[in-house]
Amino acid sequence: MTLTVLGIETSCDETAAAVVRSNGDVLSDVVRSQVELHAPFGGVVPEVAARDHALALPGIVRRALEQAGLALADVDGVAVTHRPGLAGALLVGLLTAKGLAWGANKPLVGVDHLVGHLLAIFLRRPGESLVAPPTFPFAALLVSGGHTAIYRVDDARLDRMQELGATRDDAAGEAFDKVAKLLGLGYPGGPVVDRLAATGVATRAAVALPRPMAGRSGFEMSFSGIKSAVARHVEAHGVPEGQALADLCAAFQSAVVDALVGKTLAAARAEGLSRVVLGGGVAANRGLRARMTEVAAGRGVEVFVPPLASCTDNAAMIAYAGALSLGRGEAAGLDLTPATKTALARVTRKGGGKRASP
């Protein structure tokens, strides 16, 4: 039986609602980004995020239902991101979802945001050419401003997904933001660094950036050392201009991308997996997509990259993951509480262990 679920996502700085079927069909997908609100601060301000979610979400929910051409009575359940994320931001989505579920007398399903990302490749958006989705099992690289980790995904459920390695410090997207800030390129940093990097040559950059964890056998990553090396370079020599700036961006991006690609493919090989799925906002990075596809092809690994709308935070992936949960009879009580951490099994201790020296 195909289930239709309303999904809600407010874990960070996107307010989103969507209606999706358990076969992956996206009936509506409404996302409102707060990025401009946070830009003056160079990062997400939790209280600013929560305030904006509270004002925006009711309208976003109404639009998602309207665009799907459905009333709440027509859906089979309400799915909501309840972890991980900013506590205050998560609460807005969670309590709204509870109110919707209670009023409509529909089941509530809590979804782990990372599970949503890991399943986003299965969304079928109207107007997109139908690409065959990957079959299980596959390796997945989830990379965004808040998360950077490699997973083994054996099935579309939380207890069949396992972290193989993650960043010990900054998320890759966070490193992009911090470097962009250092270079006076504004916030968010990913798109602008990616654009400049495309016109630069990494080997021509005036600084050699470290390749943290590259020599290690595990699948843990580290990005703060790369960022710090850029910071030291800028402190000593000032912010480069013109071609030198593009070259520095290329060097930084290549250091980050090499780590992501190298560790992901090493993890896939170690696990005997021949498919790699990308997810998260940084999966939109052209340098990452190109390099991953190129290196994977040489190793006989197939790479699956979701369209941009499925990479960045959205509620369609939450609705989809929720629809699958509901199909398995997994509904939450209205006493569901938010959590700042993921429920996915983790192997990397943040900030722990010996850091790789630059």
Partner 1 sequence: MEFRPAPAGGRVRPMLVLALSTSTPRGSVALVRDGEVLGRAVHSELRAHAERLFAGIDEVCARAGVLRRQIELVACDVGPGSFTGVRVAVAAAMGISISLDVPAVGVASVEAMAAAALAGAPVGARALAALDAQKDELFIGDYQLDPSGALREVTSIVAMTRSAAAPHLARAMQLGHLVVGAGTALAGVEASISTEAVTLPDAAFVAHLGVLRASAALRHGSLAPVYVRPPDITLSGPVAHRPTGPSV
Residue nearer to partner 1 on the CB measure, 322 or 338? 338
What is the contact surface with partner 1 in residues (CB under 8 A)? 11-12, 41-51, 54-59, 61-62, 72, 84-88, 91-105, 145-147, 170-171, 174, 334-338, 340-342, 350
How near is the Cβ of 79 to partner 1 at its closest, in Å?
A: 13
Residue nearer to partner 1 on the CB measure, 12 or 248? 12
Continuous segment of H or E residues that includes residue 298: helix 286-298
User: Structure tokens of 185?
Assistant: 């390129």
How near is the Cβ of 47 to partner 1 at its closest, in Å?
A: 4
Q: How far apart are CA 219 and CA 214, in angstroms?
A: 9
Residue nearer to partner 1 on the CB measure, 5 or 94? 94
How near is the Cβ of 321 to partner 1 at its closest, in Å?
A: 17
Q: How many CB atoms lie within 10 A of CB 48?
A: 17
Comparing C-alpha atoms, which of 340, 283, 337 is closest to residue 113?
Answer: 340
How near is the Cβ of 102 to partner 1 at its closest, in Å?
A: 6
Instruction: Tell me the β-bridge partners of 20.
Output: 5, 26
Q: Which residues of 147-158 are buried (b: 16+ CB within 10 A; e: fewer)?
A: bbbbbbbeebeb
How near is the Cβ of 319 to partner 1 at its closest, in Å?
A: 16
Residue nearer to partner 1 on the CB measure, 6 or 27? 6
Residue 69 backbone zone (phi > 0: left; psi -120 to 50: alpha; other: beta): left
How near is the Cβ of 355 to partner 1 at its closest, in Å?
A: 16
Residue nearer to partner 1 on the CB measure, 43 or 262? 43
The residues, any chain, with a CB within 8 Å of residue 173's CB and separated by 6 or more, are 143, 144, 145, 146, 148, 188, 190, 280, 281, 282
Q: How far apart are CA 35 and CA 266, in angstroms?
A: 34
209, 251 contact by CB (below 8 A) = yes
Residue nearer to partner 1 on the CB measure, 105 or 129? 105
How near is the Cβ of 65 to partner 1 at its closest, in Å?
A: 8
Q: How far apart are CA 203 and CA 135, in angstroms?
A: 38
Residue nearer to partner 1 on the CB measure, 170 or 194? 170
Comparing C-alpha atoms, which of 317, 228, 219 is closest to residue 265?
Answer: 219
